């Protein structure tokens, strides 16, 4: 039963990263253009699906709360301030998404809020991952790192790296969904962002070597983990070839595959810990009775959510028009 909830948690996190990563990436790129036509097309590319994408963040929190309450409590203790900032960024982005079309004179404020909220939320998510990789200070099962123990140079570097990664994902989505100028600009942005992501990965590896991070020993002890970077390298090669051949569809799937390979690397590097390297999955799991009680809801609700996601992306497949807009 524990493994069932571990699997659902992993799927929920991965779906959130891939799906809402698109929205957040488009939001950051939104701030780089002053053209109202391009901004309208960019919003139309994510308008039908962005609300559903954020649902997976809620699912992740609910699974942690119900199935792994110790993890939920520890993470909130460690990341209370950054998570509040992240939620404010997501709220600001959502409000701006709806309000920008209600005004002309003050639209610039909502445009800035949409881009800024996306940037803030993405950076905080990257910082959180970086702090987990570097390791939280836990004493007697409780977080003891202080209010800003999560804020380290490595965590900030991971925040910047995730901003580049989400922006790359968003650019590939715009290439897939848009035509004309929006598509052409996205195609020019992808190589720059890809080089930025590659530079980030090199810096992370060098930092891990210099600081002797615990996760580095996992990579050495588990050489099979290098299968995932190999998959990512193949995906990056196909990405480069698809950009050179002006293919509009493959870049998005290749960047998504790179994210999946990175997620697989981290997940198996942490195993069997759910908070590296202090709390194992078995230690964090709720009582068997609680897991069984939640099970019946999970086997009904989770497939329905997956089905809804598949249907929504199927219904709104295809490209959006340049003159389209979200109203």
Of all residues in the chain, the percent with pLDDT exceeding 70 is: 98
pLDDT in tens, 229-256: 899 999 999 999 999 999 989 999 999 9
Q: 257 vs 148, 191, 250, 262, CA distance in Å?
A: 33, 17, 11, 9
pLDDT in tens, 186-231: 999 999 999 999 999 889 888 888 877 777 778 778 888 889 889 9
Peptide bond connecting 241 to the previous residue in cis, omega within 30 degrees of 0? no
Tokens of 134: 């570097």
CA distance 150 to 122: 16
**pLDDT > 50? residue 141:** yes
| H or E element, residue 317 | none
Q: What integer is the mean pLDDT of 19-35?
A: 92
Strand ranges, E, within 267-324:
273-275, 279-280
Tokens of 171: 């650019």
CA distance 291 to 132: 25
Strand ranges, E, within the chain:
138-139, 142-143, 273-275, 279-280
- DSSP letter for 103, please: -
Contact in structure between 175 and 183 (CB atoms under 8 Å): yes
* 319 backbone φψ class: left, alpha, beta (φ>0; ψ -120 to 50): beta
Task: Determine the pLDDT at residue 324.
Answer: 46
Length of the chain measured in residues = 327
pLDDT-derived band of residue 69, with 50, 70 and 90 as boundaries?
very high
Strand ranges, E, within 171-303:
273-275, 279-280
CA distance 218 to 270: 8
pLDDT in tens, 113-131: 999 999 999 999 999 999 9
Q: What integer is the mean pLDDT of 301-327?
A: 80
pLDDT-derived band of residue 35, with 50, 70 and 90 as boundaries?
confident
Question: Which runs of consecutive H residues, i.e. helices, occur in 100-179?
Answer: 107-134, 153-177
Place of tokens 């119900």: 66
Task: Determine the pLDDT at residue 327.
Answer: 53
**3 state SS of 247:** coil
Count of beta carbons in the 10 Å neighbourhood of residue 63: 23
Count of beta carbons in the 10 Å neighbourhood of residue 221: 9
* 180 backbone φψ class: left, alpha, beta (φ>0; ψ -120 to 50): left
CA distance 97 to 182: 19
CA distance 327 to 102: 9
Q: What integer is the mean pLDDT of 87-108?
A: 86
Prediction pTM value: 0.93
| H or E element, residue 299 | helix 288-315
Tokens of 256: 């998504």
Q: What integer is the mean pLDDT of 21-46?
A: 90
């Amino acid at each position: 039963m524990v493994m069932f909830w571990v699997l659902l948690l992993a799927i929920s996190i991965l779906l959130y990263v891939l799906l809402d990563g698109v929205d957040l990436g488009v939001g950051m790129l939104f701030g780089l253009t002053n053209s109202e036509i391009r901004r309208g097309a960019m919003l139309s590319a994510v308008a039908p699906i962005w609300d559903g994408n954020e649902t997976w963040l809620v699912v992740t929190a609910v699974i942690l709360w119900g199935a792994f309450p110790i993890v939920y409590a520890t993470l909130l203790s460690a990341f209370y301030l950054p998570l509040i900032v992240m939620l404010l960024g997501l709220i600001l982005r959502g409000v701006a998404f709806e309000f920008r079309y209600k005004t002309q004179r003050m639209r610039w404020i909502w445009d800035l809020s949409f881009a800024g909220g996306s940037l803030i939320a993405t950076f905080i998510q990257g910082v959180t991952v970086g702090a987990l990789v570097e390791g939280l200070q836990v004493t007697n099962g409780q977080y003891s790192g202080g209010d800003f123990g999560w804020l380290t140079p490595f965590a900030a570097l991971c925040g910047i790296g995730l901003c580049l990664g989400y922006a790359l994902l968003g650019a590939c989505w715009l290439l897939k969904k848009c035509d004309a100028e929006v598509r052409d600009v996205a195609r020019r942005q992808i190589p720059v962002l890809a080089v930025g992501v590659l530079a980030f990965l090199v810096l992370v590896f060098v930092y891990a070597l210099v600081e002797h991070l615990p996760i580095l020993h996992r990579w050495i002890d588990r050489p099979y983990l290098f299968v995932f970077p190999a998959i990512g390298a193949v995906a990056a090669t196909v990405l480069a070839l698809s950009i050179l051949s002006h293919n509009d569809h493959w870049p998005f799937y290749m960047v998504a595959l790179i994210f999946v390979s990175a997620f697989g690397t981290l997940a198996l590097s942490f195993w069997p810990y759910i908070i590296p390297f202090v709390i194992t999955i078995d230690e964090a799991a709720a009582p068997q009775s609680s897991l069984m009680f939640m099970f019946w809801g999970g086997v009904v609700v989770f497939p329905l959510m997956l089905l809804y996601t598949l249907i929504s992306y199927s219904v709104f497949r295809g490209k959006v028009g340049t003159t389209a807009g979200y109203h």
